[in-house]
Amino acid sequence: MTMSTSYFVGDTVALTARTLRHVTRSLDTIITTVITPIALMLMFVYVFGGAIDTGSTAYVNYMLPGILLITIASGVAYTAYRLFMDLATGIFERFQSMPIARSGVLWAHVFTSLVANLISLVVVVGVALVMGFRSGAGVLAWLAVIGILFLFTLALTWLAVIPGLTASSVEGAGAFGYPLIFLPFVSSAFVPTQTMPGPVRWFAENQPVTSIVDTIRNLLAQQPVGSSIWAALAWCVGVLVAAYVLAMVAYRRKIA
């Protein structure tokens, strides 16, 4: 490991620990990223679940992948918010003036998002298990699910960096997450797309969330994933690459 790499790793770890402390001290973050998805899961299973025909699949098993994506979308919205606040309060510039890796501040927010979302996902899955979720999927299937969720989180995190760096107000930075949270509701996450009217069905079947949800659902149910896994990976990688490039352009302009 070179000297510059060693400094980058050390600085990023220290800055990530700082950002994680802010997350654990923020009650509204915990409510939004953990309690809200759990409340949605309780409502859909115990209020709407009986009216939705998912065949032999228990409804909690059917809708859990969508809830996991909503959990991630809720979490990454705070990445944009935290990054904007660091810029607005001058902390970002203060770190840039110190002898630390210049990109460490940005990567700290990315790693914080990954860690915080991992914890949120574990909690949500734990509650789903209490509610009756069961899966006979093997180790490889679970690793595939974890890999897809990791890619999805990383892609949305870098997408969140863009408004975090460019928004003109805290409301603008925070509003980034609303469309992402809404997307699973117009997909196969909660109801089969076959029940939707024509134009809505077309959109639901051709937007990224449906392929990701279908892939995760089939992996957990030990069913063939078909071509949905390639569509899911293509969406995740495509969004990740595009978001990373745009985020780095915005970052360089901000620190120039």
Q: Give yes or no for a contact between 60 and 45, defined as CB atoms under 8 angstroms apart.
A: yes
Residue 172 pLDDT grade (very low, low, confident, very high; cuts 50, 70, 90): confident
Query: Could you give the CA distance from residue 236 to residue 152 in angstroms, rounded to a whole number?
Result: 6
Residue 87 pLDDT grade (very low, low, confident, very high; cuts 50, 70, 90): confident
pLDDT number for residue 10: 64
Does pLDDT of 130 surpass 60?
A: yes
Task: Give tens-digit pLDDT for 200-229.
Answer: 999 999 999 999 999 999 999 999 998 899
Task: Give tens-digit pLDDT for 29-71.
Answer: 777 778 889 999 999 999 888 788 777 788 999 999 999 999 9
What is this structure's pTM?
0.89
Does pLDDT of 4 surpass 80?
A: no
Does pLDDT of 188 surpass 80?
A: yes
Residue of 133, 110, 89, 117 whose CA lies nearest to 240: 110
pLDDT number for residue 1: 47
pLDDT number for residue 3: 42
Mean pLDDT of the chain: 85
Does pLDDT of 99 surpass 60?
A: no
pLDDT number for residue 174: 73
Burial 62-96 (b: 16+ CB within 10 A, else e): bbbbbbbbbbbbbbbbbbbbbbbbbbeeeebeebe
pLDDT number for residue 253: 83
% of the chain residues with pLDDT over 90: 45
Residues 6+ apart with CB under 8 A from 239: 155, 156, 159, 208
pLDDT number for residue 113: 86
More confident residue, 201 or 95: 201
